[in-house]
C-alpha cells in the first residue's frame, strides 16, 4: 500500500479497500497466515464449532483520546476490555470481532501499531479475532479511529454469579490500585509531567476470574471490572442490585502514589476514575482472605486486598467508606462522566 494516510477510498469496498485489508489489517491480525490466503476465506460471519451450551456474548465501542497512551493504546484497550467483560460474567473468552471506523487522514503507521497491539493482546489472552469490518469517514468526522468489538465466551462450570447471591457478611475484594488507566490517559492528554511515570493498568483479567472460580467455586458470588465510573459506580451498582449496604475501609484500598498525586492535581476522586485491568469480587466471608491470596499470585493483582463488607440495608441501599482518619463518607454513584474519551 503506497498511501501514507487513510483516504475515503479505503472504505469504498474496491481495490483500495482490498489493499488496506491485505497489506495492513490482515497481516497485523492474522499472524503467520498469508494475507491473500486469509482474504479468500473472508465472510461476513464466523462459524464457531465445539462451543459449549452456555455462551456469554458482549459488545463494546472504544473512543479513547489520545489513541496511544502510556501502557497501551486503543487496540489493546479494545481487546482487553472485551475479554474482561466476558471474564467477569464467569466465561472463558473464545472469539472476538473487531470493527474499525477510520478517519480520512489517519496515519497508516498509527493504524499498524494499533493493530499489532490488538493482535498481541488477543494472543496473550488466547482469544481469536475471527471477523471484523472497516469503514472510513470524512476528515474531521472523528478523532482518528473508533473500534467496536463483540465477544463470545464459554461459561465456566463453576460460575454461579448474580446480585441474588450476594448476602450479608460477604466481603469485597479488589485486585489492585485504582485510577491508573484514566489518569494515565488524562495526564498524556493534558501534557502533565506525570504522564511519563503513570502507566495505564490495561490488561486482560480472565486469568484472575478463572483462578478465583477454580479455587473458590460457588463462594464467588459476583464479579465486575470497575471501568467508567470506577469503584464508586460498581459498589453503588452492587448495593442497589443486592439491596444491601456496603462498607469499605479506605485504609485497605491499595493505591499508587503517582495516581494519587495525579488525582489531586486534576481535582479527581480516585474512587470514580476508570480502570481497565482491575477486578472487584464479592465472595463469602470465609473465603475472603483466600481470594486475595489467589489473586496476588498473578502479577497484575499483586496488591489484591479485602476492602469491605456487605451488610443489611438500613434506610435503603447505601455505600459508606471509613476514611483514613476514622470518619465516614457516603460513596455515591457518579452523576456523569468526569473524564470523557478515556475508553
Q: Determine the topology of domain 163-330 in CATH.
A: Phosphoribosyl-aminoimidazole Synthetase; Chain A, domain 2 (3.90.650)
Task: Provide the grid cell at 298.
Answer: 498473578
Return the domain boundaries, the chain: 8-155, 163-330
pLDDT at residue number 46: 56
Burial class of 175 by CB neighbour count within 10 A (0 to 12, 13 to 18, 19+): buried
pLDDT at residue number 50: 54
Taking the C-alpha atoms of residue 51 and residue 95, their distance in angstroms, rounded to an integer, is: 10
Calculated CA dihedral for residues 206, 61, 131, 106, nearest 10 degrees = -120
Taking the C-alpha atoms of residue 88 and residue 278, their distance in angstroms, rounded to an integer, is: 10
**What radius of gyration, in Å, describes the C-alpha atoms of the chain?**
21
Q: Which CATH architecture has domain 8-155?
A: 2-Layer Sandwich (3.30)
173 forms bridges with which residues in the sheet?
Answer: 281, 306
User: What does pLDDT average to in each consecutive run of 10 residues of the chain (343 residues)?
Assistant: 82 72 82 50 54 80 95 98 95 95 97 97 96 93 95 93 96 97 91 80 98 98 93 92 96 95 92 96 98 98 98 91 95 79 86
CA dist 129 → 19, 151, 246, 335, 337 (Å): 20, 9, 39, 35, 30
pTM for the whole structure: 0.89
**Which residues are within 8 A (CB) of 105 and not within 5 positions of it... i.e. 6 or more apart?**
5, 6, 139
Amino acid at each position: 500500500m503506497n498511501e501514507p494516510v487513510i483516504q475515503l477510498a479505503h472504505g469504498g469496498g474496491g481495490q483500495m479497500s482490498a489493499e488496506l485489508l491485505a497489506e495492513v489489517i490482515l497481516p497485523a491480525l492474522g499472524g503467520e497466515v498469508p494475507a491473500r490466503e486469509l482474504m479468500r476465506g473472508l465472510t461476513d460471519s464466523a462459524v464457531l464449532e465445539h462451543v459449549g451450551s452456555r455462551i456469554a456474548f458482549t459488545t463494546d465501542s472504544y473512543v479513547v483520546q489520545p489513541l496511544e497512551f502510556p501502557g497501551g493504546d486503543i487496540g489493546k484497550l479494545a481487546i482487553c476490555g472485551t475479554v474482561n467483560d466476558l471474564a467477569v460474567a464467569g466465561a472463558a473468552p473464545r472469539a472476538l470481532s473487531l470493527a474499525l471506523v477510520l478517519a480520512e487522514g489517519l496515519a497508516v503507521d498509527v493504524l499498524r501499531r494499533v493493530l499489532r497491539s490488538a493482535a498481541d493482546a488477543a494472543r496473550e489472552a488466547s482469544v481469536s479475532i475471527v471477523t471484523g469490518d472497516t469503514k472510513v469517514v470524512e476528515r474531521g468526522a472523528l478523532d482518528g479511529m473508533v473500534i467496536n468489538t463483540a465477544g463470545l465466551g464459554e461459561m465456566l462450570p463453576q460460575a454461579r454469579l448474580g446480585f441474588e447471591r450476594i448476602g450479608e457478611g460477604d466481603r469485597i475484594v479488589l485486585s489492585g490500585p485504582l485510577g491508573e488507566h484514566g489518569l494515565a490517559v488524562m495526564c498524556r492528554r493534558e501534557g502533565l509531567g506525570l504522564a511519563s511515570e503513570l502507566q495505564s493498568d490495561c490488561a486482560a483479567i480472565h486469568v484472575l476470574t478463572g483462578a478465583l472460580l477454580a479455587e473458590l467455586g460457588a463462594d464467588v458470588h459476583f464479579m465486575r471490572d470497575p471501568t467508567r465510573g470506577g469503584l464508586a459506580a460498581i459498589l453503588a451498582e452492587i448495593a442497589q442490585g443486592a439491596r444491601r449496604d456496603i462498607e469499605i475501609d479506605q485504609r485497605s484500598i491499595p493505591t499508587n502514589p503517582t495516581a494519587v498525586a495525579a488525582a489531586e492535581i486534576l481535582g479527581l476522586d480516585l474512587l470514580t476514575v476508570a480502570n481497565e485491568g482491575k477486578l472487584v469480587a464479592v465472595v463469602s466471608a470465609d473465603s475472603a482472605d483466600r481470594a486475595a491470596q489467589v489473586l496476588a499470585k498473578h502479577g497484575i493483582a499483586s496488591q489484591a486486598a479485602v476492602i469491605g463488607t456487605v451488610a443489611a440495608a438500613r434506610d435503603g441501599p447505601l455505600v459508606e467508606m471509613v476514611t483514613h482518619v476514622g470518619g465516614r463518607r457516603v460513596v455515591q454513584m457518579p452523576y456523569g462522566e468526569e473524564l470523557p474519551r478515556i475508553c
